[in-house]
Chain A
């Protein structure tokens, strides 16, 4: 099974990369963009276990290392 962790800067924390990409998209003629946020995706292959167990484990990984919760939020998706 796989866990997909998406980590991105919290709303309200300026995302300089997202802002640069936003400007670049607009200068390429893409309009109607409200906001661009850039994050990272961490894909973790896990031994087989229950979904609940996987979520608990990956949540702990995220809080400990994968995200800096001072500035970042994360979400977890478990894929069988």
Chain B
């Protein structure tokens, strides 16, 4: 599989993401934000985490207008798979490729810790290696992870099975640690080819990191 990992000024997770996909045996190309095209023959675009353009104005608001994002929109509109992690999730919502928006965490803190998650829906390429209800343990690190969508939008997410992951406590009880509507940690679009989540699966791929739960997420895209 060939993976394109985007890089904007201020991105800082591109090499972790590259490492994770290479570890799984894939080719990875890091793509500069000013490029007008994605590499040929790719199977997945990853918009990685970081602080693109210093998070100025709003997280992701400026990156969405980078030249490469036009190609990403076209790629997604043809059914190509796109994964946004953390700042990548923010960029994809700003770009309108995913519904809703990410606001400042309710407690105003930058939250950086391992977090329990629950798989809500596995009927998609991202989480098909898991069962609904499975518990994961994956790092989060964000200030603007407070997912917001209006009531009508939330209803649509539920009807279409677009809610992928929820924040939970160690007993599996829903726990909105950052204020997110319905404790949402990750969603996909209606067509189920664009995915976004605040947690960092690429940081949970080896025992020495404290968890390997991210591997199966990234592997999901292979099948």
Contact = CB atoms under 8 A, between A and B. Distances in A.
Interface string B42-60: 0000000000000001100
User: Which secondary structure characterizes the binding site on chain A?
Assistant: mixed
Contacts of B57: 65-66
A62 B62 CA distance: 13
Interface stretch (A12-20, A25-33, A49-57): A12-20
A17 B61 contact: no
A16 B58 contact: no
Interface in A36-77: 65-66, 68, 70-71
Q: For the side of the interface on B, what is the size category?
A: 10 to 19
A14 B179 contact: yes
B187 to A, nearest CB: 13
Interface stretch (B4-12, B24-32, B105-113, B129-137): B105-113
Q: For the side of the interface on A, what is the size category?
A: 10 to 19
Contacts of B93: 70
Interface of B: 57-58, 61-62, 65, 93-94, 100-101, 103-108, 146, 148-149, 179
Interface of A: 9, 13-14, 16-17, 20, 65-66, 68, 70-71
Would you list the 9 A-B pairs with minimal beta carbon distance, nearest first? A70-B101, A71-B101, A16-B106, A16-B104, A16-B108, A68-B101, A71-B148, A68-B58, A20-B108
